[in-house]
Structure 1
Amino acid sequence: MEIKWLPYLPIYVALCEEKSIAGAARRLSCSNAHVSRQLRQLEALLSVQLIHRTTRQFNLTYDGVEFYKQAKHLLESAEVINEKLCLSENAAGKLRVAASASFGSLLLTEPLVEFYRTYPDIKIEVIFTETPFDLIEAGFDVAFFLTDTPPEGYVGHRLGSLDCKPYAHQQYVKQHGQITHPNELHTLTHILYKNTDLTLDHWTFHHATGNEKADIKLTGGFSVNLVSSMVDAMVKGCGLAMLDEFALSKLPQTERQQVVQLLPEWQTSAILPLYILYPKRQHLPKRTRLFVEFFRNSLEHILPQAQKKKDAQSRERLS
């Protein structure tokens, strides 16, 4: 017999104990609208009103009090079972992962394959997307995203920052000439990265051997929300693109040799750091812990080197 109301228990118990929709939403790291919707669905499934709610009052009905007692007991029993499963030696189950399509397909594919080979009993579903979403409501266990600050209600481990430099195809450079200073960038066509939340058009350049600094705003000939499309356009001679070295790593050797780094004597300030995120919770499944640890170890060999180099250069400029 299917018991359809079981998934609603955590939200209902949180509502009863926090005594408000906003409090339950904060506790479970989800939106007020999600809590309200779940409560309505639960009451519809049970065909009873559990809570009297107005703009000023929030009181349990008689049925609501009785249901809370049983729901609390069921959740406590489930916690005991979950704790035992988390301590199990066998890592298994399904893991849903979200990642920015721009860097994910370039940076994560090989580590994902290696993780699956190491833990074949963990089934991985990966979604590459640039669409903003709530990690919990969308049902994801882990996400990789560029962000200034991890959102509230999530644990975030910083993996590193992208070390972007201006690149162009050598034929484009021959046609438009070499540049020697960031202020000359306005004479070239720019291929910009842009998504719904972020446009990478502001860059600060520091001279590698001096204290000179240049703040530059790039104007896009066109913009895209995929790094791979930026690379394709740059290779076809459409303009220059601000790219991290990893974005060029998948090019065939003959094409890579035709890509020129502009302004090699200048360094750029790091853009948004890359984080691995997962929801805060008391008991993290072992498969999630293993995944996070694996990728922290894997990606630290790729991203931090560039950032450490920049940090050293920054200290030299300040000394």
Structure 2
Amino acid sequence: MLKIEGIAAFVAVAEAGSISEAARRLRLSKSVISERVADLERSLNATLLHRTTRKLTLTEDGIAFRERAVRISEVEAAASDLAERRGTLTGPLRIAAPVSFGRLHLGPALYPFLAAHPEIELTLDLDDRRVDVASEGYDAIVRHGVIADSRLVVWKLAKSRRLLVASPDYLAGHGTPASLAELNDHRGIFYTNRGAADWRFEGPTGSTVIRARLALRINNGDMIHDAAVAGLGIALLPTFICGPAVRDGRLREIDVGFRPEPEFIYMAHPEGRRPSAKLRAMADHLKKAFGDPPHWDP
């Protein structure tokens, strides 16, 4: 007789591409995942996975079985849906979010929601890289910026402003730029996960990209903030990071006559996958908690 947990383990391994990653997603040990998949193979009298020292791939039988196994493994999700129809939000939920926003604002907004719905089993991964929500097994991602992946269904949670800022000491030593052209002669602190075209402004003829002289490139918003406060250069930071420093004078906003391109805090889930009631409820809660305009704006 086939066991649901064995099917779920196989589907997780097939999606993750490794037993280690599947174990992390299911919050089980690698030995438990391996044993459940092995037990499934014995029940089917078939080899589903081809294992080598370097990689793991599906056999022909594994590819064929996976198509139906995905549907069977959704039984747990179906049980959660039934509970949600009765007004109880329950079951696992896996979300990815950026580090700085997660620590500063997402966490404080989530804690009351989780306290009100204790049967939700949330896994929150904080990572600044652009994760692939579908292939990496997430129910949704929370992100800041522009929306580039057309395979995602996006819910806007809050508007996001970015400010061009520098410390008073930097501006005293290097002067305050008054135009986009003058920015080219200044030292810039850039966010690496946005690539070379990080500084985009709304110009009279469309988007204008500015590339200042490189002072520092970092993959974390908190450290960009700290580097700007330390006087290393000019940074383009969202107000959810730089707001307190602008209010208390550690950073000053620079007006060059044009605004940075508008961005959003958003939640996105894979296209074609019906979002659960708990995911919709979480999105609604976050939207109200962040406010319009968001509470972090100076």
TM-score (structure 1 length as normaliser): 0.65
| Cα distance in 2, alignment partners of residues 258 and 77 from structure 1 | 54
Deviation at 1:122, TM superposition (A): 2.8
Q: Does the aligned pair in 2 maintain the 1:159–1:304 contact within 8 Å?
A: no
Give the counterpart letter for 2:285 in structure 1.
F
Q: Is 1:296 aligned to residue 287 of structure 2?
A: yes
Corresponding residue SS for 2:217 = strand
Counterpart-to-counterpart distance in 2, 1:189 and 1:220:
6
Q: Is the 8 A contact 1:95 1:141 kept in 2?
A: yes
Partners of 1:251 and 1:284 in 2: how far apart?
38
In structure 2, C-alpha distance between the alignment counterparts of 1:73 and 1:246, rounded to whole Å: 41
Establish whether residue 240 from structure 1 lines up as the match of residue 239 from structure 2: no
- Structure-1 residue corresponding to 2:6: 5
Q: Is 1:268 matched up with 2:260?
A: yes
> How much does 1:232 deviate?
0.3
Q: 2:92 matched to which residue of 1?
A: 94
Instruction: Quote the Cα distance in structure 1 between the aligned partners of 2:73 and 2:208.
Output: 58
Residue of structure 1 equivalent to 2:200:
203
Give the secondary structure class of the aligned counterpart of 1:191: strand
| Structure 1 position 72, deviation (Å) | 10
Q: 1:286 to 1:201 in 2, by over 3 A?
A: closer
Structure 1 residues 171 and 199: alpha-carbon distance in aligned structure 2, compared to 1, 3 A threshold: same
Change in 2 beyond 3 A, CA 1:185/1:73: closer
Distance 1:184 1:126 in 2: 42
Q: CA separation in 1, counterparts of 2:42 and 2:126?
A: 34
1:23-172 maps to which residues of 2 (within 5 A)? 44-46=41-43, 48-49=45-46, 81-145=79-143, 146-152=145-151, 154-172=152-170
Cα pair 1:205 1:214 within 8 Å, conserved:
yes
SS in 1 for 2:231: coil
Q: Distance in 2 between matches of 1:182 and 1:6?
A: 57
Counterpart of 2:251 in structure 1 is 259
Change (3 A) 1:106 1:90: same
In 2, Cα distance between equivalents of 1:44 and 1:75: 16
Paired letter, 1:7: A
Tell me if structure 2 keeps the 8 A contact 1:168–1:235: yes
Task: Please give the alpha-carbon distance, in whole angstroms, between the structure 2 residues aligned to 1:278 and 1:246.
Answer: 23
Counterpart residue number, 1:20: none
Distance across 2 between alignment mates of 1:183 and 1:241 = 16
CA 1:44–1:134 in structure 2 vs 1: closer, same or farther (change >3 Å)? farther
Pair 73,222 (structure 1): closer, same or farther in 2 beyond 3 Å: closer
Q: How far has the Cα of 1:266 moved from its partner?
A: 3.0
Query: For 1:68 and 1:244, how far apart are their aligned partners in 2?
Result: 43
Aligned equivalents of 1:202, 1:73: Cα separation in 2: 44
Give the conservation status (yes or no) of the 8 Å contact 1:150–1:275: no
Matches of 1:183 and 1:87 in 2, distance apart?
Answer: 57
Identity of aligned residues (%): 17
Q: Displacement of 1:91 after TM fit?
A: 1.9
Q: State the secondary structure of the residue aligned to 1:274.
A: strand
Instruction: Summarize deviations over 1:195-247 as a string: whole Å, max 9, x none.
Output: 2x63443422548xxx9996522332111111111110001111110112221
Alpha-carbon spacing, 1:79–1:241, altered in 2? closer, same or farther (3 Å) = closer
**Does the aligned pair in 1 maintain the 2:80–2:91 contact within 8 Å?**
no
Q: Taking structure 1 as reference, are residues 251 and 125 closer, same or farther at Cα in structure 2, changes over 3 Å only?
A: farther
Distance, in Å, in 2 between the alignment partners of 1:233 and 1:68 is: 50
Tell me: CA distance 1:277–1:175, structure 2 relative to 1, closer, same or farther (3 Å).
same
1:16-63 deviations in Å (ceiling 9; x for gaps)? xxxxxxxxx9xxxx69x79xxx9xx68734453499xxxxxxx98xxx
Write out aligned runs for 1:208-223 (5 A): 215-223=209-217
Whether the 8 Å CA contact 1:193–1:227 is kept in 2: the answer is yes
TM-score, structure 2 normalization: 0.69
Structure 2 Cα separation of the partners of residues 236 and 220 of structure 1: 16
Total equivalences in the alignment: 266
CA-atom RMSD in angstroms? 4.4
Amino acid at match of 1:266: F
| Deviation of 1:261 (Å) | 1.1
